[in-house]
A and B are shown apart, each in its own frame.
Chain A
Amino acid sequence: MNSTVFAPWDDPQAKPLIQFKNVTKRFGGFTAIDNLSLDIFEREFFALLGPSGCGKTTMMRMLAGFEQPSEGTILLSGQDIAPVPPNKRAVNMMFQSYALFPHLNVWDNIAFGLRRDNMPKHDLEDRVEEMLRLTRLEKFARRKPHQISGGQRQRVALARSLAKAPKLLLLDEPLGALDKKLRQDTQFELMDIQEKTGTTFVIVTHDQEEAMTVASRVAVMDQGKLMQVATPDRIYENPNSVYVADFIGDVNIIQGRATSTGEDTYRIDWAEGQPPLTATSANHFSDGQTCHLAIRPEKVTISAERPADAVNAVQGKVHDIAYLGNLSTYYVELSNGIIIKAQTANTRRISRRSFTWEDPVWLSWTATAAVLLAD
């Protein structure tokens, strides 16, 4: 492993900053977090990703101190934080609604936390100015929150939560209220600030693109459980379950039965009248075991003739085309009614598109393109 790559999660010597140990949280009869264990390391940009109601916000509120775990412990730098109230934790939070104090101007909002620490006046002013510079808000220091734009408010919230130099910064859907273009710019700004300050960030989001862009590691959650915790590329390329494969990005899922044909190579029989597919997998499947083949649309090649060297090739006709500008997704219907998506980059002008509706086409992919997943 290259030592310059930031990957403390692969280093058994590294001490995690945060440890969830068998944490369970119940609200009445509802289990929001179900016996969950997780390590988050210093300087990480960690994303909790999942659909609404999956428990990601509860995780964050437990870290901030607004909720107590029903069972299990949460350690921050090795210390159990359960008895520490929110105002005594070296953890700050950026709220989804930003929660800026409407009666205070931008400057006073940022200074709010520092004043509670009785910081000397001179240091306090320096710190606030530094935060204003970091978030490029110098010009708006005297404005009230309702006099600035949504993007500026978001930056005030960030500056305010960073002002106290917390060990850990929690971001609850920080970009949810911004429009797409601004959100993309802000994502890079967030990463930049995270790098500059060296603070550990934990971000909660339901937007997988956002999680993939900003995070060093992503935890995909569902119904109070962690489905997979890994770097964005591993989550995308090597999902460990159908749920994760389906949740992250676009995917074709083909159900079939696996038969071993060699070392790590399997034949998948998946439909009457269709040729069997070939896939490789490091995981072992017994003969006849039900399996799911997950193939990303961009790894499927679309062509008019059957490619001579294709390991997997199926024939169908173009059912629909989704034109996204830079990409086109072809929905190809096979003879047995199954639809498979294939994505191509639009490197040519649309008027010179090779395929159109109802065209007979071949879809092909390599043996390693697909991920073989157990039921």
Chain B
Amino acid sequence: MRRAVLIAIPYVWLLALFLVPFFIVLKISLSDIALAIPPYTPTLDLSQGWAGIKEFFSQLDFENFVWLTEDDLYWKAYLSSVKIALIATALTLLVGYPIAYGMARAPEEWRPTLMMLVILPFWTSFLIRVYAWMGILSNEGYLNQFLLWTGIISTPLTILNTQTAVYIGIVYTYLPFMILPIYAALDRLDGSLIEAAEDLGCSRTQAFWLVTIPLSRPGIIAGCFLVMIPVIGEFVIPSLLGGSGTLMIGKVLWEEFFSNRDWPVASAVAVILLLILVIPIVLFQRNQQKQAEAEQ
């Protein structure tokens, strides 16, 4: 009995927090827009019994999904999101790996402090931190003021409302998600493996590429997925830092919901986004599983 309850908890959790909302969204995506509250039709009317349910299902169709293929805005936005996510993930990895490596190599007594510094930004609202970047990156912002003062540039750089600003924002925001799994992998790395590699004729650099990198690969993969998956659907960063020039599916989704009030199309966009994300999520799960097996 107790076992059944324990096993049921994750399933109930999954059902209540994923499957039920998903089916609601899926249902809306199959509905039609309506000037009503809620702004779509049909709605299920159980008072008419079986006939009502039949009537309800007959009104559902795939019109909105067809629409997504007809207007090139949507697939361009998906593509652009995936591209931005891939580039941003690579940039985050380039910045995050040396930080994680430095943390893992730091003296034991420093590590909790360094870990704290990585996590510390989470204590402030994400929104406020993105707004702070607007203040830094704008034409009159701190960065331009500093560069003008040092004399490196003579006219302010336009960074805000460009893709560069989006990349800066993403790398900044998602860096801890990259650092922590890589750090965990490097921290577990037995130092004698590096010594063994050197003993067998590797230079420091060779030992890094032949031993450290392969052995931190599970951490790298985990970090990359943890960054890429949410970035594909990212909305706040491109809308605040990217200006009108940055096309991302999260922004399109938001506009469909709140500007156009076209919930059915917005839901269709969300369903497709979810389907796109299923691929990296499944790959991520397999990586985690393989890692767990290797550790047994």
Residues of A near any B CB (own CB < 8 A): 64-66, 85-88, 91-93, 95-97, 99, 101-103, 112-113, 116-117, 146, 160-161, 164
Residue in B196, B201, B202, B217 with the greatest tally of chain A CB atoms within 10 Å: B196
Contact in complex: A86, B199 (CB < 8 Å): yes
17 residue pairs bridging A and B, Cβ less than 8 Å apart: A64-B195, A65-B198, A86-B195, A86-B199, A87-B198, A87-B200, A93-B195, A95-B195, A96-B192, A97-B190, A97-B192, A102-B215, A103-B214, A113-B201, A116-B201, A116-B202, A161-B200
Contact of B197 with A by CB under 8 A: yes
Contact in complex: B200, A164 (CB < 8 Å): yes
Question: B210 to chain A: which residues have CB within 8 Å?
Answer: 112
Known: A86-B198, A164-B200. A99 touches B206 (CB 8 A): no
Beta-carbon nearest neighbor of A146 in chain B:
B294
Smallest CB–CB gap between A175 and chain B, Å?
17
**A88-B201, A164-B201 provided; 7 other pairs, C-beta below 8 A?**
A66-B195, A93-B196, A93-B199, A99-B190, A99-B196, A112-B197, A113-B200
Smallest CB–CB gap between B49 and chain A, Å?
61
Residue in A92, A95, A99, A101 with the greatest tally of chain B CB atoms within 10 Å: A99
Beta-carbon nearest neighbor of B203 in chain A:
A87
Would you list which residues of chain B between 195 and 225 have a CB under 8 Å from chain A?
195-203, 206, 210-211, 214-215, 217
Smallest CB–CB gap between A269 and chain B, Å?
54
Smallest CB–CB gap between B158 and chain A, Å?
46
Known: A86-B195, A97-B190, A116-B206. A103 touches B200 (CB 8 A): no
CA distance A103 to B197 in the complex (A): 13
Question: B211 to chain A: which residues have CB within 8 Å?
Answer: 101
Which listed residue, B200, B206, B214, B217, touches A92 by the CB 8 Å rule?
B200
Contact in complex: B198, A101 (CB < 8 Å): no
Known: A97-B190, A101-B193. A87 touches B215 (CB 8 A): no
Contact in complex: A99, B193 (CB < 8 Å): yes
Beta-carbon nearest neighbor of A112 in chain B:
B200
Number of A-B contacts (CB under 8 A): 60
Pairs A-B, 3 closest by C-beta atoms = A113-B200, A116-B201, A99-B196
CA distance A161 to B197 in the complex (A): 11
Question: B215 to chain A: which residues have CB within 8 Å?
Answer: 101-103
CA distance A88 to B215 in the complex (A): 24
Question: A91 to chain B: which residues have CB within 8 Å?
Answer: 199
Smallest CB–CB gap between B78 and chain A, Å?
36
Question: B201 to chain A: which residues have CB within 8 Å?
Answer: 87-88, 113, 116-117, 164
Interface mask (B274-296 → A, CB under 8 Å = 1, otherwise 0): 00000000000000000000101
Smallest CB–CB gap between B221 and chain A, Å?
13
Known: A101-B211, A103-B215, A146-B294. A116 touches B200 (CB 8 A): yes
Smallest CB–CB gap between B187 and chain A, Å?
15
CA distance A86 to B193 in the complex (A): 13
Interface mask (B179-199 → A, CB under 8 Å = 1, otherwise 0): 000000000001011011111
Contact in complex: B196, A95 (CB < 8 Å): yes
CA distance A370 to B23 in the complex (A): 90
CA distance A352 to B143 in the complex (A): 95
CA distance A113 to B202 in the complex (A): 8
Question: A113 to chain B: which residues have CB within 8 Å?
Answer: 200-201
CA distance A164 to B211 in the complex (A): 19
Smallest CB–CB gap between B208 and chain A, Å?
13
Contact in complex: B202, A87 (CB < 8 Å): yes
Contact in complex: B192, A92 (CB < 8 Å): no
CA distance A91 to B200 in the complex (A): 9
CA distance A91 to B196 in the complex (A): 11
Smallest CB–CB gap between B201 and chain A, Å?
3
Smallest CB–CB gap between A27 and chain B, Å?
14
Question: B294 to chain A: which residues have CB within 8 Å?
Answer: 102, 146
Which listed residue, B195, B202, B203, B214, touches A99 by the CB 8 Å rule?
B195
Question: A101 to chain B: which residues have CB within 8 Å?
Answer: 193, 196-197, 211, 215
Would you list which residues of chain B between 249 and 296 have a CB under 8 Å from chain A?
294, 296
CA distance A333 to B237 in the complex (A): 85
CA distance A88 to B192 in the complex (A): 18
Smallest CB–CB gap between B210 and chain A, Å?
8
Question: A85 to chain B: which residues have CB within 8 Å?
Answer: 198
Contact in complex: B199, A64 (CB < 8 Å): yes
